[in-house]
Amino acid sequence: MKFKVLIVMFMMILTVGCSKDKTAITGSDFYDKAIEAEYKVVDNTYQFDYADYVYSITKGDLKMYFVDGKKSYDIKGLFLDECANVYKNMTEEYDKSTTGGENWTTLKIKNDETFYYVSWIKDTYLYVEAPLSKEKELKKFIDSIGY
């Protein structure tokens, strides 16, 4: 099963290249936008040698992670790993959408309880996990940072 999920994720990255390029937000800009949105941001950069910035946000049941990496293959690896983890957490019933372009890919999944958003743009990565009731608020924030 794991192998099938990884193949699907790899094919998704390869086949979604029909949309325009996106510009990745910098780590410092992400930090500023998150503070502006009144999130408490924790700098975890010192724990990771493959990234220039690593931020985590937790607020109640909300989990959000942003990585501004040094190399895109590290970021794509994070994306694939996290997509596989999200699929493991899914029940039988869920809604899924994927979009992407030449330098980005996004996976959105939700079930009756939880909203997941996993995305990479160039050398950056964003992961969001939250109760479904916070989906609208989070989509607004995600749009504000260009993801």
* pLDDT grade for 91, boundaries at 50, 70 and 90: low
Specify the residue for token string 């501004």: 68
Q: Of the candidates 20, 7, 11, 10, which has an alpha carbon nearest to the alpha carbon of residue 121?
A: 20
**Dist. CA 135–CA 141, nearest whole Å:** 10
Other Cβ atoms within 10 Å of 132 Cβ, number: 12
Specify the residue for token string 């260009």: 146
Within 1-134, strands assigned E span: 41-43, 51-59, 62-69, 95-101, 104-110, 114-121, 124-131
In terms of pTM, does the model score above 0.85? no
pLDDT in tens, 45-72: 999 888 899 999 988 889 999 999 887 7
